[in-house]
Each structure stands twice: as C-alpha cells, then as structure tokens.
Amino acid sequence: MRGPRALAGALALALPLALSLALPVAAHAQATANTLSSRLDPTTRVAVQAIVDSARRAKLPTAPLIDKALEGAAKHSDGPNIVSAVRQLSVELGQSKRVLGGGASTAELQASATAMHAGVSSRDIALLRSAAGPHRRVTLPLAVMTDLIGRNVPVATASQVVVGLARAGAHDSDLSMFERNVRLDIERGADPSAAAQTRARGVMLRTAPRAGTRPPGNQ
C-alpha cells in the first residue's frame, strides 16, 4: 500500500513543479507570438517563431530576432526575406556567443552579430575581445568597426585599426571621437582607409602614455 501512496505523493508534487516550469516559457512564447502576429502574415510568423524558439533553447537573446522581424515588416519586406534575415541573425548571434563567451551581454552579442554581418571574421572579434581585456565591454568598439566598414574602409583595415586602438587602451570616448573624425574626413573627400589609419595613429598618440605602450612613429 505504501508504494502507490508514495507514488501518488511524488506525482502530486512533481506535477505542479513541472507546470510552474512550463508556464513562464509558455507565457513568454505567447507574448512573442502576440507581438509578431500583429505585424507579420501567418506563414512568416510561424517561421520566425520557430527560429526564436530555437534561439531561446540555445540560450541566445531573442529580442534582436524579434526586432529584426519587426524591422522587415516595417520596411514592407516580403516574408521569405524576413525569415532569411532573422535566420541569418540567429546564426550570427550563435557565432558571437561562441567567440565572446557566455558572459557577453546582449548588446555585445548584438554588436558582434552586426559586425559579422558586415564581414568581420570570428577571429578578428576574438582578437578584439582579447585586446580589450576581460573587464571591458566591446560593444562600442564593434559598432565603430562596423561603421568604418559601412563607410568603405576595407574590412581588414577596419578590424586592424579598432583592435589596435583597443590594445592601446583607447576608451569609448576616444573611439567615439575617432569615429566622428573619420566620418568628417570621408565626407570632406578623404580616402576612407587613409582617414581611418591616420586618425587611429592620432588616438594612439594620446592613449599610449595611458596604456604604458610606445606610441607609433611619426607617420
């Protein structure tokens, strides 16, 4: 008699526990579905939802994926294109997580995925992570790297310059000023690659004493 009673007791305890674990996931999925269903056609919504669910299981941030789908809808892109973009972003987020590690913030993963989308390799992102040191966020350096590429600085040059700045101890404020100066130089007609490299040397001259490294030569 003890066996069936114990089994009933265990079931009575296990059932609500399982229910409590399943409920938040179900509620989250429902909230996501509601957001997507108001903006996407049913076929696209189902496909996007599947990618989002898969990302959630892989412990990737899902908000960037939903935002990507919403962006596609806002720009009146067709369903297959939206699904393709969301899937691509999911892959890039996964790669970013592998490169940056489990401690990376959503913003870092998102910035890294965006940089990868612009053509930056996993190796260069790992180099940046290493150059920046363990305690520094790499969100802004990655955003600057992506911006340079968007302004026709070759990918290799953009990566090399930003990794060099991070290694030299450039702060986010230095990088913001660097990005602004390169942008203005290019708008005034400068060659993008030359502008990036020249402005980077200028930043390193200022940051070298701070980082205890030797400033580059007068070039």
Partner 1 sequence: MSDDKLFEDGVIERIAGELRDAERPSAGFDARVMASVRGIARARQREHRERRRLWNRVSQPRTITVRPWSVGLAAAALLLCASLAGWGAHAFARMESAAPAAASGGSQRVQFVLVAPNAKKVAVAGDFNGWDAQHPAYQAVHRGGGVWSVTARVPVGHHRYSFVVDDSLWVADPTAPRVVDDDFGTTNSAIVVEPEIR
Q: Determine which residue in the list 35, 181, 197, 198 makes contact with partner 1, applying CB under 8 A.
A: 35
Amino acid type, 34: N
Of residues 6-25, which lie at the interface with partner 1 (CB under 8 A)?
8-9, 11-13, 15-17, 19-20, 23-24
Q: Determine which residue in the list 48, 49, 72, 195 makes contact with partner 1, applying CB under 8 A.
A: 72
* Longest CA span, the chain: 90
The nearest distance, CB 218 to partner 1, in angstroms, is 29
Of residues 187-206, which lie at the interface with partner 1 (CB under 8 A)?
none
Count the Cβ atoms, other than its own, within 10 Å of residue 206.
14
156 binds partner 1 (CB under 8 A): no
Q: How would DSSP label each residue in 3-59?
A: HHHHHHHHHHHHHHHHHHHHHHHHHHHHHHHHHHHTTS-HHHHHHHHHHHHHHHHTT
Nearest Cα neighbor of 175 from 138, 150, 209, 124 is: 138
Contact residues for partner 1, defined by CB under 8 A: 5, 8-9, 11-13, 15-17, 19-20, 23-24, 27-28, 31, 35, 63-64, 67-68, 70-75, 77, 81, 84-85, 88, 105-108, 110-111, 114, 117-119, 139-140, 143-144, 146-147, 149-151, 172, 179
